[in-house]
Amino acid sequence: MGDRYISGEMIGCLRRYWGYTSFRPWQEKTILAVLDDRDSLTVLPTGGGKSLCFQLPAMLKDGLAVVISPLISLMKDQVDTLKDMGIPAEYMNSSQSAEAQDGVVRRIQAGEVKLLYISPERLQTDPTLNWLKTVQKSFFVIDEAHCISHWGHDFRADYRNLKVIKDNFKDIPVHAFTATATKEVERDILNELALESPEINIADVDRANLIYRVMPRANIISQIVEVLNKHPQEAGIIYCLRRDDVDDISAKLNRLGFKNLPYHAGLSDQTRHDNQEEFMRERVDIIVATVAFGMGIDRSNVRFVIHAAMPKSIEHYHQETGRAGRDGLTSYCYMFYGGADFRVWGFFLEQSANKEIMREKLKVMYNFCVQPQCRHKVFVSYFGQKYLPNSCVACDYCLGEVDTVADPLGIARAILSCVEKVSYGDGRGFGAGHIVNVLKGNKDDRVARWRHDHLPVFGAMEKETVFFIRYMIEQLVGQEFLAREGEFLTLSLTDSSRQVLKGDVVPVLAKPLVAKRKKEIRQKQSKFKEKDWVGIDPELFELLRKKRSDLAEKQRVPAYIIFGDRSLKDMAAIKPLTPESFATVFGVGEHKLKQYCEEFVGVIKDYTSSIKK
């Protein structure tokens, strides 16, 4: 079956509805598995075109494709996007009236719908199962399939019961899709869904268009403002660890003139909904949020994501930063972390059902922050893949922005010796703040009380800043040359510490960024952004963006549903003046050509005429 589609109907359908002329890596293989009526598991990173892999086959096969999604907030946008391309789709969830849901069922029974989005809870009710048995079905899709697994980072109990599909629809293929999955999660998905001889497609996990920068947190507002000044009039998400942090940072940024809205679970449902709508419809470009603002965000032109604190796992970080650059264009990910983040997450994780697993994930995340290394390589290795390039040229480490200290062994020995000397071997320990004071030579009350100003290590790093010493300690903890334990986070030596003290092992220690290096990085980023605009008329792009916004307001849909930034940039480069040339723009299918050609070509004609005058 797959061979019959590859040269004809598949490409024709892709062009007709999506306006694309070729598939992205891994899409074609996944689509063929769906068309061949085999169960499948596909892991495809955010921005890799995951949804198209089941939406396109749904248009080619007879019957209804049922998509199980955990995100009621996202269903309407997904369906609106499909309808805007001319694809007959519907959703059913608790936000609709009983009358509206009955109308959806009638249209499905009449054969007028190709894709139905539904929640896992709804699928497991007898009335839904009963009417689904009366209609022709092409296949089932489990979207965000990692929610099934206890090993996953967004476990949902309702997903654990989705074997109900195989129990009730034995001959209908089931296809599981997710953007992030470790090997343990993959095994769990296969077992819990009872997939039969599945086709397994694991795409490259790397998001090459994302540039990662990870820095210790100092003055967080100043650090965020510095980032925002690099991204004027661009969309971004600022993630915070706690609700209070969201409220504080949001208010301060608004006072400084950076218009934004907050989002967290402590706000009313209506406020959260309104703020998300403002962001999705491009009435505001910056949202400050906890991770409650997450999986339902499908705005394709998010150009930057800032983490004001460390996330709790590599999976979470990969997913949260994955909300940037979904259109494939260069986007930026910044993280500002501190040692206190580890303690806060550790406290939260005590309430978790799988706290031992999550604690290990937290340690890996912390190590990612403090160890100088290629960020892309860490992601790829974590998910069990090999990273072949010697340099990603897309993270602070590989771009040469991370300088290492001149004498890492001497610094490490000084810190480890201090931890050893203050412990006295009786189990008594001290936290990082006390160690910093001893090494810096700050004789505060505690240092004096314990007579640590008489130790030979007192003042051993007096020429260094407090921030520098603390940054070195955090790196030694992350690389397990120091252990941090107990309620008071006291520091102690590890087996690896002895190797450093003997000189057998030399840690890799990075310097904090200084003003001169920050200026060099700003200049480098400016050159990156200039490359993204080669051949594109920025003034025309803004006019096209305004037209997109106006149309979105009239249709009461998010702006990205009309066209993504990539399509607008293509228009601003090609400057099409006829329907024939407009049809060559990226993302312009037959339905969008009929619906939007006159509007956007009109803007381009007016602009080109004004230039000639």
142-199 tens-digit pLDDT: 998 888 876 655 666 778 889 889 999 989 999 999 987 888 889 989 998 989 899 9
Share of the chain above pLDDT 90, in %: 60
Mean pLDDT of 487-513: 88
DSSP state of 405: P
SS3 call for 531: helix
Check residues 216 and 580 and name the one with the higher pLDDT.
Answer: 580
Domain boundaries, the chain: 2-202, 210-382, 408-502, 538-612
| Residue 257 token pair | 């003139």
What is the reported pLDDT for 299? 84
Q: Residue 4: its pLDDT value, please?
A: 52
CATH number given to 538-612? 1.10.150.80
What is the rounded average pLDDT of the residues 17-23?
A: 91
List the beta strands (DSSP E) in 454-605: 482-485, 490-493
- Mean pLDDT (whole number) for 114-120: 95
**Among the listed residues 119, 106, 42, the one whose alpha carbon sits nearest the alpha carbon of residue 74:** 119
- Identity (one letter) of the amino acid at 341? D
The confidence score (pLDDT) of residue 95 equals 84
| Phi, psi of 348, rounded to the nearest 5 degrees | -60, -40
Domain 210-382 -> CATH class: alpha beta
CA 34 to CA 279: how far, in whole Å? Answer: 34
Give all strands of the β-sheet with 137-142 in edge-to-edge order: 89-92, 115-118, 64-68, 137-142, 174-178, 40-43, 199-202
- The dihedral built from the CA positions of residue 13, 19, 21 and 22, taken in this order, carries a sign that is negative
| Domains 210-382 and 538-612 in one fold | no
CB neighbour burial string for 258-271, b if at least 16 within 10 angstroms, e if fewer: bebbbbbeebeeee
| CA distances (Å), origin 205, targets 29, 44, 317 | 16, 7, 13
Cβ contact 567:585 at 8 Å: yes
Q: What is the pLDDT of residue 544?
A: 97
- For residues 484-511, one letter each, b for 16 or more C-beta atoms within 10 angstroms of the residue's C-beta and e for the rest, the string is beeeebbbbbbebbeebbeeeeebebbe
Amino acid at the residue 446 = R
pLDDT of 144 reads 87
**How high is the mean pLDDT of the chain?**
89
Amino acid at 488: F
* Across 64-73, 112-121, 445-454, 596-605, least confident range: 64-73
Residue in 204, 127, 147, 137 with CA at minimum distance from that of residue 174: 137
pLDDT in tens, 356-393: 888 888 989 988 998 888 999 999 999 889 998 989 99
- pLDDT band for 106, please (50, 70, 90 cuts): very high
How far apart are alpha carbons 63 and 320 in whole angstroms? 35
Taken in order 157, 316, 47, 385, the sign of the CA dihedral is negative
Average pLDDT over residues 311-315: 92
Q: Is 536 helix (H, G, I), strand (E, B) or coil?
A: coil
Average pLDDT over residues 248-257: 98
Q: Which two tokens stand for residue 172?
A: 């209908």
CATH topology of domain 2-202: Rossmann fold (3.40.50)
Helices 72-84, 590-612: inter-axial angle, 10-degree rounding: 70
Phi, psi of 236 (to 5 degrees): -155, 160
Q: What is the pLDDT of residues 341-361, one digit of tens each?
A: 888 888 888 877 778 888 888
> CA separation (Å) from 297 to 231, 293, 458, 465?
20, 7, 52, 41
Query: What is the tens place of the pLDDT at every residue in 278-303?
Result: 998 889 999 999 987 765 567 889 99
The phi, psi pair for 101, rounded to 5°, reads -65, -40
Least confident of 16-25, 342-351, 414-423, 571-580: 342-351
First-to-last C-alpha distance (Å) of the chain: 57
The one-letter code for the residue type at 264 is H
From CA 411, how far away is CA 367, in angstroms rounded?
19
For every residue of 284-341, DSSP letters joined together read: -SEEEE-TTS-TT---TTEEEEEESS--SSHHHHHHHHTTS-TTSS-EEEEEEE-HHH
At the top level of CATH, the class of 408-502 is: mainly alpha
Angle separating helix axes 220-230 and 515-532, nearest 10 degrees? 30
Distance separating alpha carbons of residues 482 and 497, to the nearest angstrom? 7
482-485 and 235-239 as β-strands: parallel, antiparallel, unpaired?
unpaired
Count of Cβ atoms closer than 10 Å to residue 134 Cβ: 9
Please report, rounded to a whole number, the percentage of residues in the chain having pLDDT higher than 70.
93
